[in-house]
Structure 1
Amino acid sequence: MTKRILSMFIILTMLLTTLCGQAVFAENSNDQIEISSFDIIQVDAEKVAALFLLSDVVNNQDSQWDSSCKISITTPLYDLDNNVTAYECKVVKDVQEKGYIIISASSSLNPIVEFSYESTTPANYMDSIIASDSQSSAEKKYYLGNQQYFVGIKDKNNKLEFKSILKNRVDKKEHEEIF
């Protein structure tokens, strides 16, 4: 068992070292450091999610996933500047959803942003919001950190609005005031 844990740790370390390039930072006028590089691509995020899934199955006695679970659909999530900030990797067992893993698109941040053993993913919630609004068209799915998920919807006048999976619709001005 110890060899198995050690080998999983070595594999995860090697993968993260390979995937994580040099992070780029910029200082703003307040001398705060900001991330200015989203450098993880989707295929690499899927590999990180698969390794996390495997590691959780092997090392976590309380894991609700098992060895037959796999990553099925990966959804890119954007910030308000249209940068991919994270990827939602859906976990399935056969055809049944078994949760999700959110992977950061920045190598300077922790790769695992959040995960859940629950079957409903944030993207599923966003898809239901899109389906319920037949007068509008979906723009993109947004993740602004700290479980703040939004879907961008253009109304019939082509005005972009944001709808939270937790709140009612807010327009862009209200959204910028909140965040």
Structure 2
Amino acid sequence: MSAVPAARRHAADRSVVLVGLMGVGKSTIGKRLSGRLGLPFVDSDHEIESAAGLSISEIFARYGEAEFRAGERRVIARLIEGRPKVIATGGGAFMNEVTRGLILDRATAVWLDADIDVLADRVRRRPGSRPLLNGRDPREALADLAAIRNPIYAQAHIHIKSQPLPHSAAVEAIVKALA
């Protein structure tokens, strides 16, 4: 029997990919989770921005959502193929059938879920950085997105309900689920 904790052994075999709606805390939780698992952390949106030399908002404005999703799919495929890590994805990444299949086949998908009011409060703190919310009421937009996306997110291997608690609670729940 290895002295390495079970969650760390599991994560060492596959990347852990965090999926869920914007504002659920994928990046913040992902950074903390990576420390707990002893794996590197990467945010797919930051990797997309780096590869494109543009912000997510600029990519959407110049090229549209379809082109953004194509680039997102290529970046996530590259990240999963490398050594195991914790990967935070953008809210729409898992909606793409090819990207979702890749994540489900080659990584451990963790759906971080939260109540719409919690998400709306969180995204209001970062106005302008969420292209799908531009010109819309955040609560209404998130409710519309949740109605479409939650049934797809439910395909993830692990489902964690993020509460309005410190993110460490979600990290502990993920570590327990991985074990």
**TM-score, with length taken from structure 1:** 0.25
Point out the structure with the larger helix share. 2
Higher relative contact order (CA 8 A, sep 6+): 2
**TM-score, with length taken from structure 2:** 0.25
Q: Which has the larger radius of gyration?
A: 1
Point out the structure with the larger strand share. 1
